[in-house]
Structure 1
Amino acid sequence: MTINYSQARENMVEQQVRPWDVLDLRVLNVLSTLPREAFVPELHRALAYSDIELPIGHGQKMMKPVIEGRTLQALDLQPGEEVLEIGTGSGFLAACLGALGREVVSLELHPELAAQARAALDATGLGNNVRIEQADALSYTTDRKFDAVCVTAAVDTIPERFLEWLRPSGRLFVVRGRSPVMEAVLVHKDVNGPRIESLFETDIAYLAGAAPAPQFVF
């Protein structure tokens, strides 16, 4: 069976993403045009536009399209802005961030996922402004500052270093808390310190090393 991906893409935007209050026209345009299927492992490609998380290897999953849409809308990237993505995964969100902003640096813990994402970006002709680095975000160091930081996995508590990478008035998207009820937030780096804006509830996998410590019951 041949899948009409452009129709599936349109259905995803109109039936999943837009009804979940993603109304930013630039974000909808990116999700309507970028070939999400090219970033999905062949085994699951037929489900590229379904309202589910998709496995991509190493125990990692692509976020649901609705979460990707809300993430992009919350960050409100402008054409001249630079973004740091923590957790490249499939590379699809990096492609979206690259389409909306000026430059993306994306960190991926697993070398194989980093290579697959780079290959998908190159094969689609996307991501010429995306640099993927194989690194653990919890020990990564850089003097560079970014307008936005996008974390694609959950944390129990927000690491201070993530905020240090922001320019003044920059913003950080991250999902925090304890499964099964987590909170997606946008942290604004204001003059008087961080200001946290609550966005929506969700439940996604933890960033490696950022899960809560096990609770021992005696």
Structure 2
Amino acid sequence: MTQTLADMRRDYTRDGLSEANAPSEPLSLFRQWFGDAIQTEQPPVEPNAMTLATVDADGRPHCRVLLLKALDDRGFTFFTNYDSAKAEQLGVRPFAAMTFFWPSLERQVRIEGRIEKVSAAESDAYYQVRPLGSRLGAWASPQSQVIRDRAELERLLAETEQRFLDQAPHCPPHWGGYRLVPDRIEFWQGRPSRLHDRLNYRSVASDWQRERLAP
């Protein structure tokens, strides 16, 4: 297995990333790359899938894959259960990192910053456009808690469906959004011989400073 893994390699030749073609601030470049990913990536890759990293009270890191659900000049928004493990970690240490990887484009974006809750109105607005099953699931699932088996989860869902049989489910008080407000965004473009392009943007005094990093 070790030898097999050591022999696994791919040369990146699709594109490059130069300062001459990069804007002075990162969000417009992210939007451009994200648009490229939507046009290029094919299932099962989801262009808005990203790895979210958090740190708990003991300093242990945790990672999981989530879906980005909103992007504006304030930052990057995702939604979850406020009683989940990730929410507990963010409550203790309100900082996180995101990584997007788009293999067809040979691109990666790393984002770091502080975390804030979005408004209840924003959470409700997104909740209302979710499929009915997802809205019911937000009520039914005690996210991150230990449950006996799959049958228990299905029982909780059946009880939730009965509860909202004659009314549309409303946004649970324990469910909503978080926004990552970035202070660092790095764009990685694969290049041949592992000499990749890395442009890093750092927030400095309410402005963005761009710098090239060695691969």
Please indicate the TM-score interval, normalised by the length of the shorter structure.
under 0.3
TM-score of the pair, normalised by structure 1: 0.25
TM-score of the pair, normalised by structure 2: 0.26
